[in-house]
Amino acid sequence: MAKRRRLVREVMAREVITVNRYEQFRNILIKCSTCHTFPVILVVDDEGRLIGKVSISNIIDVFRIHEPEILKTIPFLRDDEINIFDFDLPPELGYLLLVEDIMEADCLSVTDDTTIEEAYRIMKLNRLDQLPVVDKEGRLVGMIGVFDIVQAVFKDLGII
């Protein structure tokens, strides 16, 4: 008998941390201050459509906020050349910097009717641990992570 293909909507998490693009930078830090590691925060518009994401790399990029984005494309220059322990940033930056200044606007997502095999392939290919899930209209409906998929596979195998 052919194996039933599971869809992303069957295994995804529906509780997701979201913010709007005008949220202040310091509020994100405060919101996540009790988190063990920084989670991926999804940015949505007033209609709930996914417009970007903020991950730990975007938070670290705040140390390069004064540099044009184009510099990321040049050779012989690596992020680790920034010494975050010897860096002056004005305290008011926490209020002045908004989510839209630091978010990654071109973030990958999958629709909720994608198979978990395809979602897993996209994550492996793009070295991501999780992907936002949207419906046909682009509205955010959840998040799927590698662990959700692995868990589903273990369930199918009867291990849990």
The contact set with another protein (CB under 8 A) reads 66-71, 73-78, 81-82, 88, 106, 108, 121, 124-127
Give 7 or 122: the residue with its C-beta nearer to another protein: 122
As measured in angstroms, the least distance from the Cβ of 70 to another protein is 4
As measured in angstroms, the least distance from the Cβ of 86 to another protein is 10
Q: Of 111, 151, 156, whose CA–CA distance to 5 is shortest?
A: 156
CA distance 6 to 59: 34
What one-character DSSP code corresponds to residue 5? P
Whether residue 149 contacts residue 157, with contact meaning beta carbons closer than 8 Å, is answered with: no
For the chain, strand residue ranges (E) read: 18-19, 41-44, 50-54, 110-111, 130-134, 140-145
Token pair, residue 17, equals 């941390």
As measured in angstroms, the least distance from the Cβ of 57 to another protein is 11
As measured in angstroms, the least distance from the Cβ of 121 to another protein is 5
CA distance 59 to 140: 22
As measured in angstroms, the least distance from the Cβ of 118 to another protein is 10
